[in-house]
Amino acid sequence: MSRRCAAVERLTLVLLAMTTCGVHALAQAKSGQQTDAAAALFAKPRIVRVRVELDESMRQQLRDRPRDYAKATIVLDDARYEGAGIKIKGAAGSTREFDDRPAFTVNLGKHGGQGRFHGLLKFHLNNAAQDESRLSDWIGHFVFDAAGYPAPRVAHARVSEGGRDLGVYVLREAFDEQFLERAFGEGPCNLYDGGFCADVDAELQKDEGDGPDDRSDLRALAAACAGVDRDRQAELTAVLDLERFVTFCALEAMLGHWDGYVGNANNYRLWIPSQGGAVFLPHGMDQLLQDADHSILAHPPARVASAVMQQIVLRKRYRERVRELLPLFAPQRILTRMAPYAAMLEKEHESLGDDAARAYEEAVRSLRDRVEARHRSLIAQARAPEPKPLQLALGKPHAQKQWRTAAETEGIELEKKSHIGAPSLHLLIKTRGDEPRHGAWRTNVLLPKGRYELRGLARCEKVEAPPDDAEGAPTGGVTLCCDGNRSARLLANANWTPLVCAFEIAEFQRNVELSCELTGFAGKAWFRFDSLQLVRIAD
């Protein structure tokens, strides 16, 4: 790099930091004018006693229409809140039916209620179905907050309904008007819900705000991230709080938040003010630190993250930010602050019986080990050089051997299983539902510019796919998928059949997701493991 280029790069980073700091200072000054009545609730370890009171008609409503608010009385630490609303929440992995152990969203004013719990109108009761420690969300908030980044606060609750003791839950602050005022101050804005694996180019649901209703702010962000092989930093600066976003990318990666926005275009909220840059907000942090060696260097697949990390100056800033944030992950720092919460929860689980107490102690022990292992991995990765893309000789197949499961709905099973002696990736729809079941085996590969094909042999039995969409495009079956492209599909019964999915990398390099998928109401499929190959077919 020439001295002139280096000087320009340094000036760009300085201006970026100055602009961002000014926006942050203004937001914090405005936010400081707001009274944070909920601060005491989240200030120290505590168990909120929650009793849900429903009449039988409302119970039935939650069975039949779980996503609609049912009228309820909510008793919180012996204080009664009439006229509240409660509905079932959760996505794949955490959703449970009403008569099981569901997660809830509570709105104390939904049906005319006037009360507030420590100032909160709305909050979530998460069943922690994927976090036996009940501390993953707490760690996520603790680290984001220490970095000066807005994230929902966390407490804990013991929940009962109609005489049922549902056990220990995570009580989490909602993304509502009160949260936005605390985090950003007042002013016209929009808050979008990222939905399920929906990126910024999708029709995201507007949850809060008095900004434009035509999604023009969302389209502007998506447009700034479109295209390849160009310097887009000025366009990104106009629509995105770049310094905050670099921090967001670093924290999600360092926490191993594989199911967040950066790694999976999932579990996020997006705040877009009328003046200033968009800010991504973390969500669904109940599976953090699961993989001690989760990569912080892999190029992210999400649209905004990919566009930012393609910019050399911003990629360099990301690497710097990772090193700056490393002290926040020191095990002694996290575990010392976590200890009173773990002790409180251990005591609470003792009242659930010896088995529950032992299981909880093991879950906390495992979490402590993962915190320490993750810190060691972060130190090593922060020192490592930039990853290099996979270089494939033209026309020479490369065996794809690393695949991970992704059961994206309930009622589907994925396992490595041979079919008549052929080792395979197996997908089975176990239970039929009103909506199609979807599961996949996935892998990610960093590839340089070129045209590629993913090839493999697949077979299926009794696969019943959903109807085609309104434009006649197929929506299910057994397919290979790459970068938004799909192979031909298999339906009903089919013996081993070659499938090919072609795709192109137009920029100098990109992290691409490859997947073997089954979508349908019923059926099962196999992808022959030794047949799955990636081939570069043109430069």
- Report the CATH number that the domain containing residue 444 is assigned in CATH: 2.60.120.260
How far is it, in rounded angstroms, from Cα 165 to Cα 170? Answer: 15
- The pTM for the full model equals 0.79
> How many whole angstroms separate alpha carbon 394 and alpha carbon 214?
46
Does residue 116 form part of some domain? Answer: yes
CA distances from 44 to 38, 81, 121, 154, 531 (A): 12, 24, 20, 10, 55
Is residue 132 included in any domain, yes or no? yes
Among the candidates 177, 209, 236, a domain finishes at 177
Whether 142 maps to a domain, the answer reads: yes
Q: How far apart are CA 7 and CA 146, in angstroms?
A: 31
CA distance 504 to 56: 56
Alpha carbons 511 and 299: distance in angstroms, whole number? 5
- If one counts the domains in the chain, the total is 2
Residues of the chain with pLDDT below 70 are 1-35, 92-93, 228-230, 407-408
Residue 170 within any structural domain of the chain:
yes
Helix 312-325 and helix 354-383, axial crossing angle in degrees, nearest 10: 130
What pLDDT score was predicted for residue 25? Answer: 36
**Could you tell me if residue 275 is inside a domain?**
no
CB-based contacts of 23: which residues, under 8 Å, 6+ apart? 241, 276, 277
pLDDT of residue 285: 96
CA angle, 448 then 450 then 452, to 5°: 105
Q: Are 458 and 480 in contact (CB under 8 A)?
A: yes
pLDDT at 212: 86
Q: What is the CA radius of gyration of the chain?
A: 24
Instruction: Output the CA–CA distances (angstroms, integers) from residue 256 to 66, 262, 341, 496, in the order listed.
Output: 31, 10, 21, 37
- The Cα–Cα gap between 483 and 451 comes to 12
**Tens digits of per-residue pLDDT, 207-218?**
988 888 899 999
- Domain region containing 141: 39-177
Q: Which of 177, 196, 226 is a domain's end point? A: 177
Domain boundary among 177, 204, 228: 177
User: Nearest-CA neighbor of 226 among 304, 298, 312?
Assistant: 304
**Does residue 375 lie in a domain region?**
no
Is residue 269 in a domain?
no
Report the mean per-residue pLDDT for the chain: 90
- How far CA 526 is from CA of 414, 428, 438, in Å, comes to 10, 9, 14
pLDDT at 369: 98
Question: Are the CB atoms for 430 and 412 separated by under 8 Å?
Answer: yes
- 536: β partners: 452
Tokens at 486, concatenated: 């799909």
Question: CB–CB of 72/52 below 8 Å?
Answer: yes
Quick one: which of 267, 6, 15 has its CA closest to 136? Answer: 267
If residue 288 lies in a helix (H) or strand (E), which one and from where to where? none
131 assigned to some structural domain: yes
